[in-house]
Amino acid sequence: MTLPPFFSYASSSLNCESVALSQVADQFGTPSYVYSKAAITEAMSAYLNALGDHPGMICYAVKANSNLAVLQLLAKLGAGFDIVSAGELARVLAAGGRADKVVFSGVAKKREEMVAALEAGIHCFNVESVAELELLAEVAQELGKEAPVSLRVNPDVDAKTHPYISTGLAENKFGISMEHAYQAYAFVHATEGLRVIGIDCHIGSQLTELAPFKDALDRVLDLVDRLREAGIVLEHVDAGGGLGVRYKDETPPDITDYVRALKGPLAARGLGLMLEPGRSIVANAGTLITQVDFLKTTEKHNFALVDAAMNDLLRPALYQAWMDIKPLEVNSDVTEKAWNIVGPVCETGDFLGKDRRLALSAGDRLAVLGAGAYGFVMASNYNTRPRAAEIMIDGDQMHLVRERETVADLFKHEHLL
């Protein structure tokens, strides 16, 4: 596989920008997450440039990678933010993001989260049920405020992706069905404390074709036109996120082509475009580095036992996701074999990759590429394992942006009887 941009081999050593990842491992230890500032900047800039002067916002999906330094970088570039909790709102504000460039998504916002968002002055609530609308109206009236609302509709479009990250089918928990959306908009239009400003649609993640996006947009625009005829005029269409990235041999659309395909139909209607990209901005900007502690050969497999595990990077176990694995330094002293890269957690599902052709010795370090999205944010302390450090690379500089947890950190909030 071709290496992601800003990762390259020089003198048999894998670099992130101008820093050897072996140097990162020496200084900060393993397992650690490492991010390229240049890669994040390039991807976000591609979205912002593609949107151009068309009204709207690029709202980075905080759930993909919520490290404060990542959010700070994106805020400085001009990004808005798509959040799904009050905790994510607090992170955005702590990182220097603007509340009026925040959209609040999610299927089950709590009253206190609505209060926090209204008091902060966010741009929009993406609402997914009539019950949520009723609670939001009640909270807004109590605060003497008006909640800007975009309804998330479910267009029943098959995104042809992993079932766990498909969100636009009728069987999924997300959104309001198209047949009930018109009545929901009428409710918002007639309810004190609520103000209609948009419509939202997100059909899934890791999409590698434009056709599902276009199909969903066509269905959404049919509803927009019906609403306009009834005097309910929207300001924007939020087309969600979901653009895929290359992990192995996928060929996702170019960011510019993707944005252009969505902008076109909206311009004729005078509608702004909101997007919520996450994976396509940070996935290939990050890697998880890990050390081979032991090699173990059985009748069936060769196992490389590494110090990273499913608690550090859940995607392979949860989604059966394929992620490329490369050596930090090429080992020319041993013969290449097929290895299963597995961790120390007591689960058969604890693997980072299977049947990988690598030349390995105990003590070698490896990089799991494409780990910038849904990596650290999904990490846990299963088996009482401290979470990894996070490092941002900027040219030839290394910045520790999250310290490694200690074991004492893990139970400091617990109490003996």
Q: Which helix (H) or strand (E) holds 75?
A: helix 68-77
Query: Active site residue: 16, 59, 201, 346, which one?
Result: 346
Minimal CA–CA distance to 50: which of 214, 217, 282, 259?
Answer: 259
Q: Closest by alpha carbon to 359, among 342, 335, 339?
A: 335
DSSP-H helix ranges across 144-271:
178-190, 211-229, 255-267
The per-residue b/e assignment along 316-333, b for 16 or more CB within 10 angstroms, e otherwise, is bbebebbbbbbbbbebee
Which residue's entry shows tokens 């049920």? Answer: 129
Q: Tokens in use for 127?
A: 């609402």
Integer Cα distance of 24 and 34 in angstroms: 8
Q: What is the DSSP letter of 360?
A: -
Size of the chain, expressed as the number of residues it contains:
417
Report, in angstroms and rounded to the nearest whole number, the Rg of the chain calculated over CA atoms: 23
201 catalytically annotated: no
Contacts with 41 (C-beta within 8 Å, 6 or more apart), sequence order: 73, 77
- Contact present, 241 and 196 (Cβ < 8 Å): no
CA distance 308 to 344: 8
Give burial (CB, 10 Å; 0-12/13-18/19+) of 337: middle
Rounded Cα distance between 285 and 282, Å, is 5
Compute the CA torsion angle 298, 330, 282, 410 (nearest 10 deg).
60
Whether residue 327 is preceded by a cis peptide bond, meaning omega within 30 degrees of 0, is no
Catalytic residues: 346
